[in-house]
Amino acid sequence: MGALTGKTALVTGASRGIGRGIAERLGRDGARVAVHYGTNEEAAKETVAAIESAGGSAFAIGVELGTPGDAERVWAEFDRHADGVDILVNNAGIGASRPFEEIEEKEYDRLFAVNVKAPFFLARLGADRLRDGGRVVNISSGLARSALMPNLVAYSMTKGALDVLTRDLSKLLGPRGITVNSVAPGVIDTDNTAEFLHGTEDGQAQAAAFSALGRVGTPADVADVVAFLASDDGRWVTGHWLDATGGSLT
């Protein structure tokens, strides 16, 4: 039996990248995984198939975040498949690399709608569905505590707000034995970072130099940290911001 056998998890933005890595890892550990996606249904089906081919159980939920009523629709879809949740991973997020003086209000609002408002209401509406002893894991960023990439200032602000949500939720949900933590990746090799990492001659080397370990992170590097927090081994860790940048902040 896996560490999460009998548990049900919801992972947002789980069709690709870090989210897919988390969904697959939780599935391998025995959890039944709700694979949320925004627009890429085919990729979500591939994630579900990968979990099932490894002996796990999963189902897909398609709702675009950052739109009115998004959290309500996610939970309505979830409720069609399950009657409660043990692990909520708020992973879905968008970024925007743009000089400070060029950031437009519409773009700013979109970032906060997806990266902050959606996780807030997924947690608020999901609180009654979360079983006692459950887990909430918010995927933050090392940029919430570093000015390493100032052109990502608006994105970094959203992750700082998510970290505040983490701390306060840990107090609000703690009496029920529910832990709430943030996991902060550094540069991870995904579709979202492909242009930076592979679109230039020295992108990979530049990104690897950020880390004390001298390499670029992988989705599995983050997923393993989330799996620890989701398991019983992480029962005494809550309200914590966990640096998973490979030493990029040292």
The per-residue pLDDT of the chain, averaged, comes to 93
37 carries an active-site annotation: no
Determine the Cα–Cα distance for residues 163 and 151; give it in Å rounded to an integer: 20
Rg (CA), the chain: 17
pLDDT tens digits along 116-152? 999 999 999 999 999 999 999 999 999 899 887 888 8
List the catalytic residue out of 7, 155, 182, 211: 155
**Percentage of the chain lying above the pLDDT 70 cut:** 97
How much is the average pLDDT of 53-61?
A: 98
Active-site residue flag, 159? yes
pLDDT of 15 reads: 96
Catalytic member of 141, 170, 211, 231:
141
CA 11 to CA 195: how far, in whole Å? Answer: 25
Q: Which of 159, 211, 231, 248 is catalytic?
A: 159
- Return the domain boundaries, the chain: 8-189+219-241
22, 67, 115, 192 from 81: Cα distances, Å: 20, 23, 25, 30
Task: Give the range with max mean pLDDT: 25-34, 192-201, 205-214.
Answer: 25-34
Catalytic residue among 140, 170, 182, 248: 140
Among candidate residues 168, 25, 22, 40, the one with its CA nearest the CA of residue 89: 22
Express each pLDDT in 64-87 by its tens digit. 999 999 999 999 999 999 999 999
Confidence band of 99 (pLDDT split at 50, 70, 90):
confident
The fraction of the chain above a pLDDT of 90, given in percent, is 79
Rounded Cα distance, 34 and 58, in Å:
6
Per the annotation, the verdict on 141 as an active-site residue is yes
Residues 209-221, mean pLDDT to the nearest whole number: 88
Q: Domain 8-189+219-241: give its CATH code.
A: 3.40.50.720
Give this prediction's pTM.
Answer: 0.94
